[in-house]
Amino acid sequence: MAKLSTCFFLCYLLLILVPILAQSRQPYGEEEVLQKEVDRVTNLPGQPPVNFRQYAGYVKLPPQNQKALFYWFFEAQDGAARKPLVLWLNGGPGCSSVAYGAAQELGPFLVRSNGTRLTFNKFSWNKVANMLFLEAPVGVGFSYTNNTEDLRTLGDQITAADSYSFLINWFKRFPNFKSHDFYIAGESYAGHYVPQLAELIYEKNKGSSKDSHINLKGFMIGNAAINDQTDTLGLVDYAWSHAIISDQLYNTINKECGFKQSSNQTAGCAQHLGGFMEAYSDIDIYSIYTPVCLNSPGRTYPKLLAAPRLLTQHDLWHKLPSGYDPCTEDYVEKYFNRKDVQTALHANVTKLPYPYTTCSGAIRDWNDSPDTVLPTIQKLLKAGLRIWIYSGDTDGRVPVTSTRYSINKMGLKIKEEWRAWFHKSQVAGWVETYEGGLTLATVRGAGHQVPVFAPDQSLSLFTHFLSANTLPSSRF
């Protein structure tokens, strides 16, 4: 009798303690996996029906937990468990990967007609990979901080550190993707973000436990800012060679600005750069052969380009381009400002005091931005990462001339010489590969946001990048 009641008491204690002890060993894990189900998106307004899962929500950044970064994640359309995981980043600084990458460029749903409808993107990159879109740093899109001081300390370094911290915590919520091959892709100013984040992951992986190891395999950047001096030189040469500026202006800029020697500008050069900006004022510098949006008076890029001294400064990056429907950016802003859309995406839960914009109005300062990331790229090539740099060849902002000058600066040995690559029997662009794992590929007739202008060529490029296969070298 006594024995039985002892057991009753002890067994009862065990019954209570075992689950508690088990839980305290993994305090974070279960809560996070439950959060994953909370993040599931099931009721997105205007969305066509699909078979794959999507998730959206916030990841709070430790240790101070005042910052929360917003993500939107699409599992691959089929075989998600076997496909790689790819993080996509847009540039700016301050522009949103959700508003551009996901909703206008390469996500499965593209925003159309006034922000009332989403269309299914036949060439969505989640055909071949699990696609994660991140709004970084805080102040971009739905990502926020409760400490407004944070908005004054932003720069390249914080962006990389916070994005890394986001990833570590995102994997706690999605542990089943932890072992997948991981890649980063992005465009424009993400020419800084992507290599910088890759370098941070590479360094952190060295000393990390198995628990925080990220299976990084490589990255891909498009129309990317990577080296200020050659980027600027290429910008001017492109404008001249595409008949946008006069011989006189071209010669004066070359004489007075000295871009061939350095990225520094003298006061005397500023006046001529004003003329340069003026030449672009009636067309879209990001896509020189497509129309501009006429019924959007607030969105005239040249206004932002007007101050010549900004030529090599981050402010210039603030506004990104429009696509075939040059007004998509306006639709996207309308769409993400809808209350029902925000609810469906678990976004803006703290009622931010400003509206959603495609590029941030909340970020005031940008404190660090190195004038080159070429050393980082070279270091990561040596480390064995697969690196592809691509360029839409009708972009005037980070034109193909800039990219070629910048890559030449690295002095890499050519492995396979410049040649055409094909898609559906037509030349999709040109490609050159270098010893050590670097590929340069152009996309013919595409502007700054390549997937907008050449969706199926882009998907082909992305697919070949992931599989490390050479781009098709013949028509058939």
Ligand X SMILES: *[C@@H]1O[C@H](CO)[C@@H](O)[C@H](O)[C@H]1NC(C)=O
By CB under 6 A, is residue 113 in contact with ligand X? yes
By CB under 6 A, is residue 351 in contact with ligand X? yes
Q: Which of 133, 174, 356, 388 binds ligand X (CB under 6 A)?
A: 356
Q: Which of 59, 68, 160, 273 binds ligand X (CB under 6 A)?
A: 68
Q: Which is nearer to ligand X, 280 or 336 (CB)?
A: 336
| DSSP line for 261-274 | T-S---HHHHHHHH
Angle made by CA atoms 257, 258, 264, in degrees to the nearest 5:
75
Told to judge if 181 belongs to the known catalytic residues of this protein, a careful annotator would answer: no
Q: Taking the complex as a whole, how short is the minimal distance between the CB of residue 347 and ligand X, in angstroms?
A: 7
* Buried-state track 278-291, b at ≥16 Cβ within 10 A, e below 16: ebbeebbbbbbebe
By CB under 6 A, is residue 355 in contact with ligand X? yes
Tokens, residue 225: 């800012």
Of the candidates 162, 217, 232, which has an alpha carbon nearest to the alpha carbon of residue 388?
217
The stretch among 286-294, 350-358, 399-407, 410-418 that binds ligand X (CB under 6 A) is 350-358
Q: CA-CA distance, 72 to 87, in Å (whole number)?
A: 10
Q: Taking the complex as a whole, how short is the minimal distance between the CB of residue 47 and ligand X, in angstroms?
A: 18
Q: Which member of 97, 188, 263, 322 is catalytic?
A: 188
Q: Which member of 395, 423, 458, 460 is catalytic?
A: 395
- Is residue 245 within 8 A of residue 277, CB to CB? The reply is no
Q: Which member of 272, 318, 448, 464 is catalytic?
A: 448
By CB under 6 A, is residue 66 in contact with ligand X? yes
Which residue's beta carbon is nearest to the bound ligand X? Answer: 262
Tokens, residue 68: 């929360």
Told to judge if 395 belongs to the known catalytic residues of this protein, a careful annotator would answer: yes
Of the candidates 318, 321, 317, 312, which has an alpha carbon nearest to the alpha carbon of residue 372?
312
By CB under 6 A, is residue 350 in contact with ligand X? yes
HEC letters along 314-341: HHHHHCCCCCCCCCHHHHHHHHHHCHHH
Told to judge if 188 belongs to the known catalytic residues of this protein, a careful annotator would answer: yes
Q: Taking the complex as a whole, how short is the minimal distance between the CB of residue 153 and ligand X, in angstroms?
A: 16
Site for ligand X in 235-274 (CB under 6 A): 262-264
The stretch among 19-27, 149-157, 207-215, 342-350 that binds ligand X (CB under 6 A) is 342-350
Q: Which of 65, 266, 469, 474 binds ligand X (CB under 6 A)?
A: 65
By CB under 6 A, is residue 466 in contact with ligand X? no
Compute the half-sphere exposure of residue 416: CA atoms within 13 Å on the CB side of its CA. Answer: 15
CA distances from 409 to 227, 231, 254, 378, 438 (A): 9, 11, 19, 11, 14
**Active-site residues: which are they?**
188, 395, 448
Using CB under 6 A, list all residues that contact ligand X.
60, 65-68, 113-114, 142, 146, 262-264, 342, 348, 350-352, 354-356
